[in-house]
Structure 1
């Protein structure tokens, strides 16, 4: 498999498989999430967090897509380093004055089913097969890019409609390469320099 970018198209990667199948892929990285809660007398529930309806609409429209989730649990040391400053003042005070040992701090995380560092990517693609690689023309590249852009428009529209409070940004150039590496290798370790993808922090109870 060969992968390359086409001149003038920074938001797409092209893959040539066995010199017969040309694929154009575009990708988003979810860079913000504000999970909404609804309060009832008996419980607090998350509203419309499960993305099943989003998947279903893409499937019904026959939009090809890949949804990649990479989640790693944070130790309290790591949590304190990257997430403490994002807590509200009351929670910061409780952690500072009432959790005085490592055991208490880890227990605080356990009661929340942990805190997770999560990278979420969504991609879509268009493809065309060829009997001979020499038959591929410039028009094939631009047409595949146009088709995948139509898929992108629908994917983005349905994502916003079904996952209120979540926002995503299109990946371009080197960040797009990093996103594809994450998608293929299922790890965030293989990123290019200065192309770190956005990550989100989720409490474990939200994930479940």
Structure 2
């Protein structure tokens, strides 16, 4: 129940971020739902295919479709309250990657993968829904933008989970990993922390 709750919260966060992007692009209702849907389940679908878990999770459990639909309705109804779209999108996206990173790691552990593979699976789960969203909306995906701390936040926060497990109960280690992913992403943008550039600086 604990892991299902985290998964549902991640679905809500990513679905709302998809709605915000779609509304910013002025898509119709069908377009808004599709963008919310692929943002919410795109990474998880790829994860399930990679580990051979088919049919994929959202096909097995209708609660995900209901959750996405409810999130779309909620975001549309309260869109006037979400007037700072850029800040809202950033927040929900950060929460989404934090939740989904640990969901993906847990799936890897349950499958019997080694920690490095679990970490890769968590990063894929967290990032690829947003990649699909941005491609469909004709934007450069955040994960590919130069110097963005995005996948790096997933790797650092997700990796910390394996350390926290030595000192905390599993649920607390799980939450600590989620909070670290979110914190790294928020602080990196707040204080303009970036990765080193591979490009030479022109004189």
* TM-score scaled by length of structure 2: 0.30
Question: Which structure exhibits the higher relative contact order, with contacts defined as CA atoms closer than 8 Å and separated by 6 or more residues?
Answer: 1
Structure with greater proportional helix content: 2
* TM-score scaled by length of structure 1: 0.30
Q: Please say which structure displays the higher CA radius of gyration.
A: 1
Structure with greater proportional strand content: 1
